[in-house]
Amino acid sequence: MTALTVSPWAATLTPREQDVIRALLRSGWANAAVAEDLVISVKTVDAHLAHIYDKLRIDPPARRPKLAFYLGQRMSLSETEIVFAGLETVS
């Protein structure tokens, strides 16, 4: 099993909020697809996103592009998985 290390920025997000971010990236940033993927309502996705924006101090306007930029600065993409800088695998 692979251990995970958690950086301070990722530690502020709940596991479910981290699931929402991963689902956003998989879905191409579509809330309806996130809701379907996580088997929750779109309103619940919206609530999770509001909490994520607050915790990461991302203010309107243009929250979605700001979140994408924020994540882009803190993650790397591999061929098989998305690895957040805050959830990097450790052998």
Question: pLDDT digits over 39-91, tens only?
Answer: 999 999 999 999 999 988 888 878 888 887 777 655 444 433 334 433 443 33
pLDDT for the residue numbered 58: 86
DSSP 60: S
What is the dihedral sign for C-alpha 15, 90, 9, 78?
negative
Polymer length of the chain = 91
Taking only the tens place, the pLDDT of each residue in 20-38 is: 988 988 888 889 999 999 9
State the architecture of 3-90 in CATH terms. Orthogonal Bundle (1.10)
So where are the chain's domains?
3-90
